[in-house]
Structure 1
Amino acid sequence: MHQDNPLITFEQEGSRITAWTKTRSSLVLSEDPKRDHGYGYLTAPLRQRGLEVTVEYGLSDYIVHAALPDGSSMIISPPQEPPTEDPESWTVIRHREAGPAVYEVIYDSEPGGPHAQHGGSIPSLLAAVDARLDQLGVPPRPEQQRSSRERAADAVLHPAGFIPAVAFGGECYHRLPTGMTDPAEQRQAMTRAFTTLKAEDFDVLRDSTLLKPGIPLPAPTKQVSATATPPIPPRPGIR
């Protein structure tokens, strides 16, 4: 496994499919990954901005707690009841009890929430968090050059049909063309990219929405055994 291997995350929102590439250095900054309880993809970007971040146990699942410079705190939480391995939504709350009390909903992608269309999307969650941190004057994270493995991932995504794009906050990602709306065509491009990336030893994560009805990955093709006896054609004149 490559030490500088990036994580490629495929996501689906409606008919739109995107691929986000994150370097391992931006995903894991803890000397003890167990301390983050699987939330390294959330804690690392926050620590890169100089915040003190801990992972604590909430009602029935772990939550991410970040201390902000103004004395308030930011809580990033998946649904608590019941807990899920792949959260389908997130909430981000900023609060402060001492001094002027603060209670602010920064992000809510739960059903019926203002950001429900994003569901469990991690890039959408981080984009909202970064935008609010910018407004609060939190220093930005240092810019990092793209590694050779990131460029290698680009070389796989492009032939598969994905095109480069830039998010509102300036983050680069890839997406399928907007004109590609046929599920079969999308499934073909998605499968081609996924299988090639795995063959090239990349870490690949599919958003939970891609595992639901809509654009499922095709089942493996059944192989015909070379030792199977072929059917015997009927002899002429015999019915």
Structure 2
Amino acid sequence: MHLDNPLIAFKQEGPRITAWTSTSSSPVVSEDPNEDHRYGHLTAPLRQRGLEVTVEYGLSDYIVHAALPDGSSLIISPPQEPPSEDPEFPESWTAIRHRDTGPSVYEEIYDSEPGGPDARYGGSVPSLLAAIDARLDQLGVPPRLEHQRSSQERVADAVLHRAGFIAAVAFGGEHYHRLPAAMTDPTEQRRAVTRAFTALEAEGFNSRAIRPCSRPRAEVR
């Protein structure tokens, strides 16, 4: 893929199908989106600030790990002990900055667990990201660059709209498309994705085959 060409990644989680458009300057999804383990709304804003981000398994659920320029790490975690009753929508979050080597660091950036200083926000992801962004600003992490959508991305938007996808905005401001919530019939969903693939190819995009446990992808030649 040419670095300036957008990648359209189709994602299926249960009955929900979404389509994400990203470029090298706008990393909406990782190279292997399965590695984000449903935390793309957290990893994308961090990657857009130039941070190296991974998702690892903690005590009872996945956590987000970001390496910071000063050698410390940012850990974002849903409830672990006990785990969240609803893993898809955790009722609280913690964000910790730490460093084990050299001058040790342990800093609580955000804690919305019951009794925590941010408990009033509960599972709010925008509040979590706002607190993290404010601390990253103080630490001198480069800001998130404003991304001007290319003509190819605008073409992809139009194609997805004609195929039946609806424009939406995720936590952190990332734009994506989704099939209507009422469209739950697998046959109807496949037809919509096929329409999108066919139209993308007609506009000069190159559709790749769907891989097991992955999602269909299309990229500009």
Fold shared per TM-score above 0.5: yes
1:92 matched residue in structure 2: 95
2: CA distance, partners of 1:32 / 1:44: 13
Please tell me whether the aligned partners of residues 51 and 67 of structure 1 are also in contact (alpha carbons under 8 angstroms).
yes
1: CA distance, partners of 2:170 / 2:33: 18
Matches within 5 A, 1:17-96: 25=22, 28-80=28-80, 81-83=82-84, 84-96=87-99
Query: What amino acid is the match of 1:54?
Result: T
Matches within 5 A, 1:1-239: 25=22, 28-80=28-80, 81-83=82-84, 84-145=87-148, 201-203=166-168
User: What percentage of residue pairs aligned between the two structures are identical?
Assistant: 74
1:152 matched residue in structure 2: none
1: CA distance, partners of 2:146 / 2:78: 28
Computing the radius of gyration from Cα coordinates, the structure with the larger value is 1
Alignment RMSD, CA only? 2.9
2: CA distance, partners of 1:139 / 1:205: 22
The 3-state SS of whatever aligns with 2:166 is: coil
2: CA distance, partners of 1:4 / 1:131: 30
What is the aligned residue count? 139
Q: Using the TM superposition, give the Cα deviation of residue 50 of structure 1 relative to its aligned residue in structure 2, in angstroms.
A: 0.8
Q: Using the TM superposition, give the Cα deviation of residue 111 of structure 1 relative to its aligned residue in structure 2, in angstroms.
A: 1.1
2: CA distance, partners of 1:126 / 1:40: 13
The unaligned stretches of length 5 or more in structure 1 are 6-22, 150-198, 207-239
The unaligned stretches of length 5 or more in structure 2 are 1-7, 11-19, 154-163, 172-221
Please tell me whether the aligned partners of residues 98 and 104 of structure 2 are also in contact (alpha carbons under 8 angstroms).
yes
The 3-state SS of whatever aligns with 1:29 is: coil
Q: Which runs of 4+ in 1 moved over 6 A?
A: 146-149
Please tell me whether the aligned partners of residues 27 and 41 of structure 1 are also in contact (alpha carbons under 8 angstroms).
no
Q: Using the TM superposition, give the Cα deviation of residue 147 of structure 1 relative to its aligned residue in structure 2, in angstroms.
A: 9.4
Task: Note the alpha carbon deviations across 1:156-186, whole angstroms, 9 max, x for none.
Answer: xxxxxxxxxxxxxxxxxxxxxxxxxxxxxxx
Query: What amino acid is the match of 1:115?
Result: D
